[in-house]
Amino acid sequence: MEAVLAIAIGVLTGAGVYLLLRPRTFQVIMGLTLISYAVNLFIFSMGRLKVDSEPVLQPGVVATLQNTADPMPQALVLTAIVIGFAMTALFLVVMLASRGISDTDHVDGQEREET
């Protein structure tokens, strides 16, 4: 399970960095979004992955570190998802305004010559 999560984090980070290096603003925004998803998965994994474990303890079971996951990373990820959604919406509005003003969607404001 940890290997699958590590591979997913690596793929999301790699794709995000690739998109961040692209010249168009929408690709940059999607790259930032993918990197934020990778960071969320990384933070979530810090709370220990539990497979075949009950999310709520049964009555009479003593809560120990062996049978519960840490809820703090889950709360942090939930907060980060909400902040990331608001940040993406703001970036999209700024991108549309920039495109309306400059008539281009390149990051540096200049069209590149395709040869």
What is the Cα–Cα distance from 60 to 89, expressed in whole angstroms?
Answer: 46
Mean pLDDT along residues 77-103: 89
**Residue 19: predicted pLDDT:** 95
Fold classification of 1-48+71-115 (topology level): Helix Hairpins (1.10.287)
| Residue 11, pLDDT above cutoff 60 | yes
pTM for this entry = 0.75
The chain-wide mean pLDDT, for the chain, equals: 82
Distances 86 to 59, 60, 68 between C-alpha atoms, Å: 40, 42, 31
Q: Where are the chain's structural domains?
A: 1-48+71-115
Mean pLDDT along residues 74-88: 91
Question: 35 near 16, Cβ under 8 Å?
Answer: yes
Beta bridge partner(s), residue 106: 24
Q: Greater confidence, 32 or 2?
A: 32
| Residue 38, pLDDT above cutoff 90 | yes
